[in-house]
Amino acid sequence: MQTPVPDYLQQILDECGAPNTGATADYIPELADADPEILGICLATTDGVRYDAGDADVPVSIQSISKPFVYALAIAELGLDAVLKRVGVEPSGEAFNELSLEAKSGRPRNPMINAGALTTHALIGGGTASVEERFELVRRGLSDFAGRDLSVDEQVYASELDTAYRNRAIANMLRNYDLIDIEPEDVVRGYTRQCAISVTTRDLAAMAATLANGGVQPMTGQRVVEPAVVRQVLSVMMSCGMYDAAGDWMTTIGFPAKSGVSGGILGVLPGQIGIATLSPRLDSHGTSVRGVRLCGRMSKDMGMHIMEPPQPARSVVRRDRVLRAPSGHHVRVLSLQGTIQFSAAEHVLRIVQGELDGIQRLVLDLRRVDSLNDVAERMLAELVRRVQLDGIAVTVLDPEDRLPKPAAGQPVPDYSPDLAPFADHKRLRRRTAVERRKR
């Protein structure tokens, strides 16, 4: 058996390839001359597998797709608060290269437009790095996301720098308002070099997968940034990544994404996959025409809109039974399973609440639980606390120590690695409400 994923990718390339409308970026001579027929796609899983079709190995300059990653590096280096002082997080509703600042705060509106991206670039290296050192930090950071050493397309760099009048204007504006502390020309040079870093569609998918994977590069296993940084970056990509087409993108395609004028689109399905497409002809927003078509198609075929979350796969309650101990005590054993977040934890609290009459001990079995998020941890710990305050003993089966230990002065439950202490208990015929409902 061969997985059908590559066949599917080839099929959508065939079906979404025509018509090849739009135009290559004309304000950067080297991009204007790009081969307009290039068409590539790649999906990368969070466990390090990549599927591709078409021209997924053709290198292009990364352009604006570098922006979310340099934003991530800046937050990792300086902390979010320091970055927020210089760059906002509001969608601009404007073109990527607009000469504008937020009226109230005077900051660039977000890190995805050029004004914000030039500012973000200037933050790297803490204001003391040279142009070369700053660029090297950026290059190494992007390489970590990609899982391989990336280099610069010197021709694209020279070509864009030659004509970077608009970015020079933006950088001068930023310097005038003290949003950057270094020479505007140095920032333009570093940022333009950043945009000229050469990547393939496969690289972009790997970079996207690192974001999908909470900041750990799936192929190298390296933690590149913390989950909180990824959350910030994906949120800004979601609201601002598509510039003045962000609302249209969000409603129709529905996963955080970033486009670049060399024709790439990078998308992230948090927790699942990284997505990348490449086709150089652009629409009026500077976004790849066929890339939008491909992303729309994938979103529809594979249910990738993040506002359409999957139903929880199975009930959080794996088993719920009442046993009678040789002493005559009644023990309720509640075995949980799966991924527990707020709604599943709420369900557990609710079913316990109604069903503790005549019970002397609650056994909370967490051995088959895959993961508990923060809120679920706190809610289940609170359940354990309250049940004990009601005079019912609690045993927790939590060999991986996921449940927070009680605070000082609070009742402490018993801990057991397994159900052995309850082995001699006889199952009572009495069923709990949950089991009655399940039948």
Which sequence positions are flagged as catalytic? Answer: 64, 67, 191, 243, 261
Based on the shown chain and the rule CB under 6 A, indicate whether residue 263 belongs to the binding site for ligand GLN.
no
- CA 253/CA 269 separation, integer angstroms: 11
Rounded to the nearest whole angstrom, what is the least distance from the CB of residue 167 to ligand GLN in the complex? 5
Of residues 368 through 427, those in contact with ligand GLN by CB under 6 A are: none
- CA 197/CA 154 separation, integer angstroms: 9
Rounded to the nearest whole angstrom, what is the least distance from the CB of residue 198 to ligand GLN in the complex? 13
Task: Give the H/E segment covering residue 194.
Answer: helix 184-195
Q: Is 114 annotated as a binding residue?
A: yes
Based on the shown chain and the rule CB under 6 A, indicate whether residue 260 belongs to the binding site for ligand GLN.
yes
Nearest to 287 by CA among 262, 269, 253: 262
Q: Choose between 51 and 243: whose C-beta lies nearer to ligand GLN.
A: 243
Nearest to 389 by CA among 410, 407, 405: 410
Task: Give the H/E segment covering residue 7.
Answer: helix 5-16
Of residues 109 through 148, those in contact with ligand GLN by CB under 6 A are: 114
Based on the shown chain and the rule CB under 6 A, indicate whether residue 71 belongs to the binding site for ligand GLN.
no
CB-based contact 365:335 (threshold 8 Å): yes
- CA 263/CA 285 separation, integer angstroms: 12
CB-based contact 50:42 (threshold 8 Å): yes
Return the residue of 51, 96, 157, 249 that touches ligand GLN, per CB under 6 A: 96
Rounded to the nearest whole angstrom, what is the least distance from the CB of residue 259 to ligand GLN in the complex? 7
Q: Choose between 114 and 119: whose C-beta lies nearer to ligand GLN.
A: 114
Return the residue of 101, 150, 195, 273 that touches ligand GLN, per CB under 6 A: 195
Rounded to the nearest whole angstrom, what is the least distance from the CB of residue 216 to ligand GLN in the complex? 27
Q: Choose between 64 and 279: whose C-beta lies nearer to ligand GLN.
A: 64
DSSP state of 238: H
- Give the SS3 label for residue 262: coil
Return the residue of 34, 43, 76, 97 that touches ligand GLN, per CB under 6 A: 97
CB-based contact 143:137 (threshold 8 Å): no
Among positive and negative, which fits the CA dihedral 176, 96, 232, 40? negative
Among positive and negative, which fits the CA dihedral 318, 319, 320, 324? negative
- CA 336/CA 340 separation, integer angstroms: 9
Q: Choose between 115 and 322: whose C-beta lies nearer to ligand GLN.
A: 115
Return the residue of 46, 64, 337, 432 that touches ligand GLN, per CB under 6 A: 64
- Give the SS3 label for residue 327: coil
Alpha carbon distances (Å) from 283 to 105, 205, 267, 289, 353 = 31, 22, 18, 6, 57
Q: Is 261 annotated as a binding residue?
A: yes
Q: Choose between 68 and 218: whose C-beta lies nearer to ligand GLN.
A: 68
**How many chain residues touch ligand GLN (CB under 6 A)?**
11
Of residues 330 through 359, those in contact with ligand GLN by CB under 6 A are: none
132 Cβ contact partners less than 8 Å away, ≥ 6 residues apart: none
The residue number whose beta carbon is nearest to ligand GLN equals 64
Of residues 153 through 172, those in contact with ligand GLN by CB under 6 A are: 160, 167
Rounded to the nearest whole angstrom, what is the least distance from the CB of residue 72 to ligand GLN in the complex? 17
Q: Choose between 261 and 273: whose C-beta lies nearer to ligand GLN.
A: 261
Instruction: List contacts with ligand GLN (CB under 6 A).
Output: 63-64, 96-97, 114, 160, 167, 195, 260-261, 286
Can you say which residues are annotated as belonging to the binding site for substrate? Answer: 64, 114, 160, 167, 191, 243, 261
